[in-house]
Amino acid sequence: MPTEPVLPPDEAPLDEASVDLLLSNMGTDMVLVGGQALGFWMSRFGIEADEGMAISNDGDALGKAVRAQELANAIHARVELPYAMSRTAIVAQLRLPAPDGKERNVDVLHKLYTVEGLRKSTLFTKRVLRNSVEVEWRAGRRIRVMDPFDVLESRAHNAVGLIGAKGPHVLTQARWAIQTASAALERLADDPASKDRIGRRVQDIYTLARSQVGRRLLNDHQIELLDAIDTDSLRPRAPQLQQQLDAVDMARAKRRSGRASNTPPHGS
């Protein structure tokens, strides 16, 4: 069933021109995160959203207040700053003018959301910064983007913890993030220089799937993070992973059988 990102009534979605303007001026001292990072990797890996569906309506980046102001000046955006004593992850909001008196929004953040509290969010944010990938957006314009495996974890937390505020589109994003992580694993498997990294990434997804957020995503929304590990595709590509892939298949089968045994009979 098609879903759409929730959008406040005074906002307009970021269009293609706005995204290009943002990324062409963001540089490498900020990190693109959230739905736009998901959209970036989906495009790079050739994963298409369902026809007519937006991946994200706004933008999110990790960065500092000074850099947010510089970016706002470069893209001719209005800046909204949080109150000095407010407890928020937002450093600044960049508001781009749009038709009908509306504005397009970009949040500059200092911390990413998780369902597991402040300490987990701080550790996750540090990891995202450390793992972020520098890529070329267009000729002469380089940016830093959230790693696709961290995108998976971020979308899982949003799907579990923010569905009430953001609606069912967070579940759609989680499903897309699974496809994206799967494509990223296949890229690693096909890269001889990444043979040592792929085992760690498989383990990371396995651990995430068995974590609190992974179990809740499966139990509450029937979304299986282990599906990011396409064992049939990876076995011939990465024979060194056979033992890990066997463990993934066993865990997935056990989780499926557990869900089936907990499903009430039809009509009850």
Q: Using one digit for the tens of pLDDT, what is the confidence trace for 141-199?
A: 999 999 999 999 999 999 999 999 999 999 999 999 999 999 999 999 999 988 889 99
Q: How far apart are CA 195 and CA 52, in angstroms?
A: 38
**What is the pLDDT confidence band of residue 109, given thresholds at 50, 70 and 90?**
very high
In this prediction, residues 110-129 reach a mean pLDDT of 96
pTM of the model: 0.94
Could you say which DSSP state residue 141 is in? E
Task: Evaluate whether 188 touches 194 at the Cβ level (below 8 Å).
Answer: yes
How far does Cα 181 stand from its chain's mean position? 10
Each domain of the chain, given as residue ranges in start order, spans: 16-261
Helices (H), the chain: 16-26, 34-45, 65-75, 118-131, 148-161, 163-166, 169-189, 195-210, 212-221, 231-237, 242-261
Sheet containing 59-62: which strands, arranged edge to edge? 78-80, 90-97, 103-109, 59-62, 31-33, 141-145, 133-138
**What is the pLDDT confidence band of residue 87, given thresholds at 50, 70 and 90?**
confident
Nearest to 186 by CA among 148, 141, 130: 148
Question: Which whole-number Å values give the CA distances from 117 to 92, 113, 152, 208, 264, in the listed order?
Answer: 22, 8, 18, 16, 33
Question: Which whole-number Å values give the CA distances from 215 to 23, 148, 157, 160, 255, in the listed order?
Answer: 35, 20, 11, 10, 9
